[in-house]
Structure 1
Amino acid sequence: MSNNFAKRLVLAASLVVAATATATATAAATAAAGAQASVLGARNPYADGARAAQDSRDVFSEGARAVQDQRSPYVDGARNVNAYGDGARTVAGMDRTGVSAEPARAADPYLDGAYA
């Protein structure tokens, strides 16, 4: 009985070692196949880019993606935003002294020409 038990123990140990070796080889083969599948041909950094997993962005058609709501060209117009000019329109004429102050008298285009 001890002889059969020893044979079974050796058989079980060899099966465990074989199963572990098979699993390791399968995992390595799968990883190698996955790595080779990602590179189909010669690498070209100009055509491939950075090989990002996400879709490539097109800043000209998508914009900066900072706008939360949808824009409508019919409601919003062309949206020509000028940071310098638009800011100056809100500030111009606010001070009451200096070059932005209102004129001291009202101008009358009909009578002012006659008095000159």
Structure 2
Amino acid sequence: MDNRKIDRLIAVNKIIHEIANRGRRFFYDQRRNRYAQMVIEKHKVFFIDDYTGERVYAYNTGLNDHRGFSHGGTMWGLINDFREFIVTGNHTNGNNGYGGLYCPHWGYPEEDMKAIRAVAKEVGFLKGEANG
């Protein structure tokens, strides 16, 4: 497997952990002490849901129906942005709707969103300011 793809997978999982450790703690299930994560299996990208523990095929397809995904549409768009970044290496924030990490509807304090964006910039997922 391409080492750059592995590096991007690690980067995305770092962002997921930052999201999970802040604000409303999306991507963390306290009862199970479990974090969500992205994984690559047989050259395909999956999301392991923190709440359901299920492996969710991280692609927008008619067949997928997001089975096993316990978060809403904003987070599904973000997961698809993450998958696209892992696969292509391109800057993909907001490509799959809802504004990605610049979405104003997360319900996180602004200081938490700034910290999440800082990590995302540090690992190469975000390249700059909103829409940039």
TM bucket normalised to smaller: under 0.3
**Bigger helix share:** 1
TM-score of the superposed pair, with normalisation by structure 1? 0.20
TM-score of the superposed pair, with normalisation by structure 2? 0.18
- The structure with higher relative contact order (CA 8 Å, sep 6+) is 2
**Bigger strand share:** 2
Name which one, 1 or 2, has greater alpha-carbon Rg.
1
